[in-house]
A and B are shown apart, each in its own frame.
Chain A
Amino acid sequence: MKIAVCVKVVPDGQLRLDPQTKRLDRSGEATLNTFDVNAVEEALKLKEAGSDVEEVVIVSFGPERGLEAMRKALAMGADRVVLVSDEAAAGSDLVATSRVLGAALERESADLVLFGQQAGDSDGAVLWAAVADRLQRPLISQVAELSREDGKVHGKRQTEYGYDVLEAPLPAVIAVSDAINEPRYPSLKGIMGAKKKPQETLSLGDLGVDAGDAGEAGSRTEVYALGDPPARGDTVKLEDDGSAAEKIVQFLLEKKAL
């Protein structure tokens, strides 16, 4: 059995849009999307629990420099990374991203494909459903508890109405909630070993995806304009210097909220 984990590399710290391209500014430091660390952890737990799990492969689509941030997953214990990166793919929307990622996952043909809860930079929480449709595989999303038996997976998850339990036969696609586990920290040995693990970078051509089917050309949405949010009243943001509690009380008194 093989597990693939889809991860996104996102800007570290304050996010900002480039007013020119109207896309996310990815020029600064990058990090592994924190929500995806939970998915990596869940894959490693499944590998440790089941002697039949041969491999945990990390799959991502994005700029080439993302490879470095992806090494964190290798340091945690994943076996291999595959990064799909191509100049022609910049600006891919959901449809284009699902096409490219779907092609990369077809190539891996993993028994279980895991996703994180949401990309911290786009807050979509949608990509898995598009990918599951491309792969024609059953899907369980928002999973807060995952278990596996006899070629099936069970997922407990929250909806607007409480908790559901769903079952799907493998191969399947699962998206996990950020509360499913406490991710481990990479050990020093893990960090040292990460660099030597297989790290493959693929182009669209390697996957047989036409450049016209990715990037802006392959996308079906566009951004017309960016603007400021509606003005808000006075807001205060301060660093605690030991007197924050007093200041909160002062503020509440002013607002007649105490």
Chain B
Amino acid sequence: MKFLVFLEHHEAVLQKDSLGVLGKAASLGGEVEAVLLGAGVEGLAADAGRYGATRVHLMDDALLAAPLPQPRVDALETLVGEQDFDAVLFAASVLSADVAAGLAARLDAGLNWDLTDLAVEDGKLVGKRPELGDSVYADVGWTSEPRLALIRSGTFEPAESAGTVEVEKFESRLQDFSLAATMLEQAHEESQGPSIEDADVVVAGGRGLGSPENFALVEELAKALGGAVAATRAVVDAGWYPYAAQVGQTGKTVSPKLYIACGISGAIQHKVGMQGSSVIVAINKDPNAPIFEYADFGVVGDLHEIVPKLTELVRQRKAA
């Protein structure tokens, strides 16, 4: 089987998840090639070689400088049209999800997303996909080629190998509509704010808090437990709490001894950032909230009642 892995990069570093996907593809046997798109990125090809790629297809073009999906669909269409790949693999991200889905439409190719594993069974590529809040596991496949796959973020760890890599340049004509959207300001991490990655206890608040002021509830509980405060994207996007405190796919990954989720539905994109916690406690008033699928201790109830009581009890314990 011949794989093509899409390499994502930011500030001249290849994204860890795409290296992890390279390694997974290599472990399945067959040929593993990668595609690198950007401006002034040729130097990154060698890194791909160290993580399992034997050949890197490179399109280095000023028009690909901004990490926008649509011109990347054009480039991939050209590459996939010239060379036969059995599968094109993407590590899920905001960018790569848009690239993969755009490519699916362009090529009339099947896309399976949110995969947590890949296997070759009887010569067939099979994807493993948890569904419905991870309460069901599906084996999924493709009925045509190339097979397009988005791998859930944080799934595969990169594995270094001693390979050499061949770089093959290609060109593609980018379409007008693909270049119509432009980047006015490019993201750079906002580093100020609390550090949540080293904390043993993380108390996280979501939209169920109801208002930014109510973050005081989780802050008090975190203080009583000697922990840090985290937040979901929904409340960060809404301006209730700083981005530096966000846990999830586009935020931080934490693995504390204790994670207490207050008023958080538990979307997959949140889960990928905290599933490594040793003990997960959830307080949510909706009994169907997905967070209960993976909490060790779930309470169906009103956080406004429970959290202050809990804080008080913890304080008493600590004082005793």
- Judged by a CB distance under 8 angstroms, whether B217 is at the interface is no
Which residues of the partner chain B approach A144 to less than 8 Å between Cβ atoms? Answer: 237-238
Please tell me which one of the listed residues B178, B279, B299 contacts residue A255 in the complex, with CB atoms under 8 A apart.
Answer: B279
Which residues of the partner chain B approach A14 to less than 8 Å between Cβ atoms? Answer: 288
- Judged by a CB distance under 8 angstroms, whether B83 is at the interface is no
- Judged by a CB distance under 8 angstroms, whether B216 is at the interface is no
The answer to whether A220 touches B98 (Cβ under 8 A) is no
**Chain A residue at smallest Cβ distance from B285:** A240
The answer to whether B306 touches A95 (Cβ under 8 A) is no
- Judged by a CB distance under 8 angstroms, whether A65 is at the interface is no
Q: A94-B110, A258-B317 are in contact. List 11 more A-B contacts (CB 8 A).
A: A15-B133, A22-B138, A95-B108, A126-B113, A128-B98, A130-B101, A139-B102, A161-B187, A168-B180, A228-B137, A249-B317
Which residues of the partner chain A approach B295 to less than 8 Å between Cβ atoms? Answer: 235, 237
The answer to whether B300 touches A237 (Cβ under 8 A) is yes
Please tell me which one of the listed residues A123, A161, A230 contacts residue B114 in the complex, with CB atoms under 8 A apart.
Answer: A123
Which residues of B, 177-193, contact A by the 8 Å Cβ criterion?
Answer: 177-178, 180-190
Q: How far is the CB of B97 from chain A (nearest CB, A)?
A: 5
Query: Contacts A159-B187, A249-B310: A222 and B141 contacting too (C-beta < 8 A)?
Result: yes
Which residues of B, 95-116, contact A by the 8 Å Cβ criterion?
Answer: 95, 97-106, 108-114
Which residues of the partner chain A approach B309 to less than 8 Å between Cβ atoms? Answer: 244-245
Residue numbers of A with Cβ under 8 A of B are: 13-17, 22, 93-95, 98-99, 102, 118, 121-134, 136-142, 144, 154, 157-169, 172, 177-180, 219-230, 232-240, 244-249, 251-252, 255, 257-258
Give Cα A179–Cα B241 distance, bound, in whole angstroms.
Answer: 12
The answer to whether B180 touches A165 (Cβ under 8 A) is no
Query: Contacts A95-B104, A98-B105, A222-B140: A126 and B180 contacting too (C-beta < 8 A)?
Result: no
Encoded as 1 (CB less than 8 Å from any A CB) or 0, chain B from 166 to 179 comes to: 00000000010110
Which residues of the partner chain A approach B267 to less than 8 Å between Cβ atoms? Answer: 118, 123
Query: Contacts A95-B104, A138-B180, A220-B142: A158 and B250 contacting too (C-beta < 8 A)?
Result: yes
Q: How far is the CB of B271 from chain A (nearest CB, A)?
A: 11
- Judged by a CB distance under 8 angstroms, whether B2 is at the interface is no
- Judged by a CB distance under 8 angstroms, whether B215 is at the interface is no
Give Cα A121–Cα B288 distance, bound, in whole angstroms.
Answer: 13
**Chain B residue at smallest Cβ distance from A102:** B105
Give Cα A209–Cα B182 distance, bound, in whole angstroms.
Answer: 33
Residue in B136, B201, B279, B314 whose Cβ sees the most chain A Cβ within 10 Å:
B136
Please tell me which one of the listed residues A138, A161, A219, A235 contacts residue B70 in the complex, with CB atoms under 8 A apart.
Answer: A138
Residue numbers of B with Cβ under 8 A of A are: 10, 15, 67-70, 73, 93-95, 97-106, 108-114, 126, 130-144, 150, 175, 177-178, 180-190, 201, 207, 225, 233-238, 243, 249-250, 257-258, 267-269, 278-279, 281, 283, 287-288, 292, 294-302, 305-306, 309-310, 312-314, 317
A–B pairs, 21, beta carbons within 8 Å: A17-B136, A94-B104, A95-B104, A129-B101, A137-B177, A137-B180, A158-B233, A158-B250, A159-B95, A161-B187, A177-B233, A179-B207, A220-B104, A220-B143, A221-B111, A224-B138, A227-B139, A229-B137, A249-B317, A251-B281, A251-B296
The answer to whether A222 touches B143 (Cβ under 8 A) is yes
Please tell me which one of the listed residues B111, B137, B306 contacts residue A245 in the complex, with CB atoms under 8 A apart.
Answer: B306
Which residues of the partner chain A approach B317 to less than 8 Å between Cβ atoms? Answer: 249, 258
Which residues of the partner chain A approach B301 to less than 8 Å between Cβ atoms? Answer: 239-240, 244
Please tell me which one of the listed residues A127, A224, A247 contacts residue B141 in the complex, with CB atoms under 8 A apart.
Answer: A224
Please tell me which one of the listed residues B114, B186, B283 contacts residue A164 in the complex, with CB atoms under 8 A apart.
Answer: B186
Please tell me which one of the listed residues A163, A164, A168, A226 contacts residue B137 in the complex, with CB atoms under 8 A apart.
Answer: A226
Give Cα A16–Cα B132 distance, bound, in whole angstroms.
Answer: 7
Which residues of the partner chain A approach B114 to less than 8 Å between Cβ atoms? Answer: 123-124
The answer to whether A129 touches B98 (Cβ under 8 A) is yes
The answer to whether B237 touches A229 (Cβ under 8 A) is no
The answer to whether B288 touches A130 (Cβ under 8 A) is no
The answer to whether A129 touches B102 (Cβ under 8 A) is yes
Please tell me which one of the listed residues A220, A228, A230, A249 contacts residue B144 in the complex, with CB atoms under 8 A apart.
Answer: A220
Give Cα A159–Cα B182 distance, bound, in whole angstroms.
Answer: 15
Query: Contacts A17-B131, A179-B233, A245-B306: A169 and B180 contacting too (C-beta < 8 A)?
Result: yes
The answer to whether A240 touches B300 (Cβ under 8 A) is yes
The answer to whether A221 touches B112 (Cβ under 8 A) is yes
Which residues of the partner chain A approach B250 to less than 8 Å between Cβ atoms? Answer: 158-160
Please tell me which one of the listed residues B105, B181, B190 contacts residue A168 in the complex, with CB atoms under 8 A apart.
Answer: B181
Q: How far is the CB of A5 from chain B (nearest CB, A)?
A: 19
Which residues of the partner chain A approach B310 to less than 8 Å between Cβ atoms? Answer: 245, 248-249
The answer to whether A252 touches B258 (Cβ under 8 A) is yes
Which residues of the partner chain B approach A162 to less than 8 Å between Cβ atoms? Answer: 187-190, 243
Q: Nearest 5 CB-CB pairs, A to B?
A: A240-B301, A220-B110, A179-B237, A245-B309, A129-B101
